[in-house]
Amino acid sequence: MDWLVIVGILLFALGLILSIALHEVGHLVPAKLFGVKVTQYMVGFGRTVWSRRRGETEYGVKSVPLGGYIRMIGMFPPEPGGDPKRLRKASTGPIQALIEDARKTAGEEIQPGDEERVFYRKPWWKKLIIMLGGPAMNVILALLLAGGVLMTFGNPEKPVLAPTVSEVSECVIPAGAERTACAAEDPPAPAAEAGFEAGDHIVSFDGRPVDSWEEVSGAIRAAGAGTVDVEVERDGERLTLTPDLVRAERPVAGGSDAEEPEYAEVGFLGVRPLIVDYEQEDVTGVAAWSGTFVVRMLDAMAGIPERMGNVWDAAFNGAERDPDTPVSIVGAGRIGGEIVSELAGAERIVTFVMLLATFNMAIAIFNLIPLLPLDGGHAAGAIWEGIKRGVARLVRRPAPRPVDVAKGLPIAYGVAVVLIGMAALLIYADIVSPITLFG
């Protein structure tokens, strides 16, 4: 393996660990500000590799850097009529026993004098802030990383194109085809037949001077089929090439955002422009990028069950891996390694930083799913408690007890099993059938 790939993997792993650490800081800071006793702040799971105690909190790193946590006392309220230290031991079944064991463990963490420092006694809005603090930290980190790129280097999705050829197509690939390689039935591209080369600077098209790629592209599409004269500058000399354009279906510029792109039959030459810069964004542009990314992420998450089927087929049945399928930390690290190895200069840094920004935003959105044990599950419990208390005030009834999230533990364990299974499958697939950015 190329040493640059290893460097890239290590750099991405470091960036991901820092992201996880900051996620937990997002929980830790408001918890301490609101007076909740935090006994542990850990990055990773498994055996403790290193730790130091500062005051009442143990800070440390564990052996498996696949997440992190803070331990707050009193996450679950006692049963009605009980207290945090004395919980009913009788159970009516395995699920009830599971809940009571969790209550007992939570109650054993509460020491004399800690009664008002337990999580469940805090107002619902403080619980909500504590639980949303982690995802909020990842969103902030993503905006800082992506914003730095978008406002300085520019938006990679908005290239500034020059009327200079960067690549010549060998054939005319049908619109909508997922392949990039030419097939035997594909006709040759007009540019290849006419002798265009990478680096040719287009000076005029069909006798009309052109100064931008937009002008070149518009002239090609409008010309339809037929022979045209194209003047290019190559190695300081001007040449006139005479391609025989063909009509081909191509995406409509600025078409709708629907899943199925719009196509129109237009003139086709078969050259790609040179990217000379990227359009820089302002604060509004960064916000727009964030909104677009969130929509894409939600759409991708909705399709996870279907995409996991492709991951299974790729891992065990030899199917081709869809590049739109999710990846594990192993796969993400491999992509980071490819970026460092294959790209150079500013493009390498920009692409790597945007990868970290993307994963931070993905971590935030994933954690907001309203299911235990994710942050969104605890946040949903806090919101429900706020609604119940608001209704109680309106009808002038006594304030209800804190929402008992312990009752959701069976679901939490089920979700955890599913997540662990998905993670194991993705890790295996990323080893035997990885997604690559550079072929």
Q: Which amino acid is at 132?
A: L
Q: To the nearest 10°, the Cα dihedral for 171, 229, 214, 181?
A: 10
Q: Report the distance separating Cα 196 and Cα 271, nearest Å.
A: 8
User: DSSP for 359-405?
Assistant: HHHHHHHHHTSSSTTSHHHHHHHHHHHHHHHHHHHHTT-PPPPPP-G
115 counts as catalytic: no
Q: Is 324 helix (H, G, I), strand (E, B) or coil?
A: coil
Nearest 5°: the CA angle 285, 16, 344 is 65
Nearest 5°: the CA angle 29, 32, 37 is 135
Q: Report the distance separating Cα 330 and Cα 87, nearest Å.
A: 43
Instruction: Report DSSP state, residue 86.
Output: B
Options 24, 281, 338, 342, the catalytic residue? 24
Q: Report the distance separating Cα 427 and Cα 439, nearest Å.
A: 20
Instruction: Report DSSP state, residue 152.
Output: I
Catalytic residues: 24
